[in-house]
Structure 1
Amino acid sequence: MGEQRVRAGGPPQWWRHGPAWWNRHDEEARGTHWPWPSTVVFTAFVLVGSHFSAGNQQGRREPLDVYAGVLLLVASGLLLWRNRYPVFVAFGTATATLVYFAAGYPYGPVFLAVAVSCFSAVVAGHRRAGWTAVGMLWAGHALIALWLYRWLPPPGDAAASWGQETVIGTWVVAIGAVSELARVRREQWAKERAERAQAARRRADEERLRIARELHDVLAHSISVINVQAGVGLALLDTDPEQARTALTTIKAASKEALGEVRQVLETLRTPGDAPRAPAPGLDRLPELVEQAASAGLTVEVEGELPRLPPGTDLAAFRIVQEALTNVVRHSGSRHAHVHLEHDGDALRLRIDDDGPATGADAGGSGNGLAGMRERAAALGGTIDAGPRPDGGWRVLAVLPLKAKEEDR
């Protein structure tokens, strides 16, 4: 919401990221775009304006004829190719305009064709070509107006003053400066678009990682419980049907809960803008976690008070305890685990211990589960230490800050 809000009295939104007409096409599409409407309108403006200027300069310049019309059409019509061939168009319009002026035809809006073509060349990155074309026009104009006018039409034309040429040179510099400013601003917009795209990809990657972590934690814990209970049920199916029934009931409850949590995680993919229908799990569900561990044959003792935590910290703490107990079920021969909670004004400390011994090479969990716990803690500015205890067994020690990190808005 903060990004979409327009502050009263502030600059328009397009000023930061470029106007809509500028961002309509990317760089590749811009090179193949044919600017028919603007070229037709500009050509009509040049023709009408030149005829109007000729009426005001009658008797001082040559009257417009067919050759003048051809030069005007060439100078303005070349702008149709300004996106595909900006260098050629810049020099082409400058040459046609220079020939038009050397033929003694009236001054008029034809000079704007050079300004537009050089602007397009500079903005497209062809700075040297744009500056050279507009400089060539100014140098040719000065040469004709100060020296060659004696041999060129119209007859009896007088030399221009250096003051007039200075004014024209000032306009040339102004056109180049505006073109450079537009080029710099365009590059800034392109950079900002690339940064926004990169930030969007980064957020998407983080979201995919979060969902993968949630699915791993949910499925690893539930499937571990189901695996243990399935083994118990198979072992007691003939000798103790009632106990086997209890194991199957536990499997049904664990699978139902896993399906519910998986559905909740996947709903965020289908409707990313909607709030989840069920609250995210937290340490208030620790008793349920203890019951599930007990159904898998693991006795869990919990020490300490359950604190009130921010939602992100609460979810991370629950998943860390869940993953640690899952690792005890899967990788430890111990049937007892201890969960110790300690908190002060700054941090929550979780300690999960089991007495061992390890039942395989992956004691304590060394795969995605442990990496996921570390990622959860690091995302909140906390730490995870996991390893064997000096007196045997395995220990997971998590330190999570109680004040969640502020994200940039």
Structure 2
Amino acid sequence: MTLKPSALYAPVLAGAGLVSLIGSALSVPSTWSLAGMAVLLPLLALVARWSPLRSGSLAGALGVAAVALWPVPLVWADGSWLEVCGAAAFWAVPAFGALAAGGYLRRQAGRLRQAVRDARRDQQLELARDLHDFVAHDVSAIVVQAQAARFVAAQDPGQAVRALERIEASGLSALESMDRTVHALQEAAGRTTAPVPGLARLPELVERFEGGELESDPAALAGLTREADSTAYRVAVEALTNVRRHAPGAAVVRVAVRRTGAGTELSVVNSAAPRSTGGLLGRLRQGGTGLAGLRGRVEAAGGTLRAGAGPDGGWRVCAVFPAQGDPVG
């Protein structure tokens, strides 16, 4: 077990302080005392910066006393009490100044450590949102397709095989999303991370969603920034996941990316689910956090997000992002 140099600062200061106090009592030459002050003042700053509170407080008290009291024997014989106190107070100023300098550096280091902890916590929350946005979508698809395959296996084995193929595709997609999460965790080690998917993968996403229809304008896709592109894909994933969870069996699910006067619009619209008991609207009114979290992401990318019930009882999610070069806000 290696001993850190910072662990020695307090004992060294305490020992040096005691030696200085004994030297002052024995009236050692003033040049030696001044040399001792040149050692004690930096030690006071180092102890205030690095030492534990308990040992540092004791050593600091001895150090301040040694610095403040060393001139007392010089003025004791011919000086008054006022002069003695004035000399001690004068030399106490640099001692407390050294403590203040070390304490300031200690406080700044503490703030830096807190900032690092906050950044790590934000990264953990970001990874948790990534898992929610991507993996939950694929896992819900696996559950739905497995349920469908169980019901149609006896009557139509071909449909069951196709459902199993979709389960395989969703499982591979979930593994890919988890790989991206692992790459993000490895970024601190200097490794490159896998890029977050964007709307270029939207056809693949909609194709895996049974009954989904896609309308995409290439010019609208080209007008998105990288951040808006990845955020739009997250919106599509979250909206389709909510349809699968809360409006299963919806006859129509349309995903559209088109150019508008405000920029690029992504919309996901589903019809009402058959035999719905509250459906998607009822679930969202109970306080789901998926779309609420996405709204913050969309606004951070300069866009707006709207979600609400359609006239046919279905649900519509619409995100609009400014095109590259358009003013934000």
TM normalised by structure 2 equals 0.74
Give me the identity figure in percent.
31
AA in 2 matched with 1:236: V
What is residue 138 of structure 1 aligned with on the other side?
71
Query: 1:331·1:360 contact (CA, 8 Å) conserved in 2?
Result: no
Q: Which moved more, 1:348-357 or 1:199-208?
A: 348-357
AA in 2 matched with 1:93: S
**How well do the aligned residues superpose, as a CA RMSD in angstroms?**
3.8
Q: 1:373 offset after TM fit, Å? A: 1.7
AA in 1 matched with 2:26: Y
What SS does structure 2 have at the residue aligned with 1:183? helix
What is residue 34 of structure 1 aligned with on the other side?
11
> What are structure 1's unaligned runs of at least 5 residues?
1-22, 36-78, 83-88, 148-164, 405-409
Q: 1:235 to 1:132 in 2, by over 3 A?
A: closer
What is residue 216 of structure 1 aligned with on the other side?
132
Query: 1:347·1:399 contact (CA, 8 Å) conserved in 2?
Result: yes
Q: 1:80 to 1:181 in 2, by over 3 A?
A: closer
Task: Verify: 1:317 aligned to 2:246, yes or no.
Answer: no
Q: 1:329 to 1:249 in 2, by over 3 A?
A: same
For CA contacts below 8 A with separation 6 or more, give which structure has more relative contact order.
2
Counterpart-to-counterpart distance in 2, 1:184 and 1:343: 60
Q: 1:196 to 1:228 in 2, by over 3 A?
A: same
Query: 1:353·1:396 contact (CA, 8 Å) conserved in 2?
Result: yes
What is residue 20 of structure 2 aligned with on the other side?
93
Q: 1:256 to 1:247 in 2, by over 3 A?
A: same
What SS does structure 1 have at the residue aligned with 2:280? coil
The counterpart of 1:292, out of the listed 208, 213, 223, is 208
Counterpart-to-counterpart distance in 2, 1:229 and 1:186: 64
The counterpart of 1:326, out of the listed 223, 241, 245, is 241
Q: 1:117 to 1:219 in 2, by over 3 A?
A: closer
Deviations 1:196-219 (A, max 9, x none): 111211111121112111112222
Q: 1:120 to 1:300 in 2, by over 3 A?
A: same
Name the larger-Rg structure.
1
What SS does structure 2 have at the residue aligned with 1:363? helix
Q: 1:135 to 1:373 in 2, by over 3 A?
A: closer
What is residue 52 of structure 2 aligned with on the other side?
none
Task: Verify: 1:398 aligned to 2:313, yes or no.
Answer: no
Query: 1:119·1:176 contact (CA, 8 Å) conserved in 2?
Result: no
Deviations 1:61-99 (A, max 9, x none): xxxxxxxxxxxxxxxxxx5535xxxxxx47x734x3443
What is residue 122 of structure 2 aligned with on the other side?
206
Q: 1:330 offset after TM fit, Å? A: 1.7
Deviations 1:351-383 (A, max 9, x none): 322222483556256434324423422443544
AA in 2 matched with 1:113: G
Task: Verify: 1:193 aligned to 2:137, yes or no.
Answer: no
The counterpart of 1:374, out of the listed 295, 298, 301, is 295
What is residue 109 of structure 1 aligned with on the other side?
32
Counterpart-to-counterpart distance in 1, 2:31 and 2:251: 95
Matches within 5 A, 1:265-304: 265-272=181-188, 273-276=190-193, 278-293=194-209, 296=210, 298-302=211-215, 304=217
Structure with greater helix share of residues: 2
What is residue 81 of structure 1 aligned with on the other side?
15
Q: 1:392 offset after TM fit, Å? A: 2.7
Counterpart-to-counterpart distance in 2, 1:352 and 1:98: 84
Query: 1:119·1:179 contact (CA, 8 Å) conserved in 2?
Result: no
> What are structure 2's unaligned runs of at least 5 residues?
49-56
Q: 1:343 offset after TM fit, Å? A: 5.0
Counterpart-to-counterpart distance in 2, 1:259 and 1:347: 33
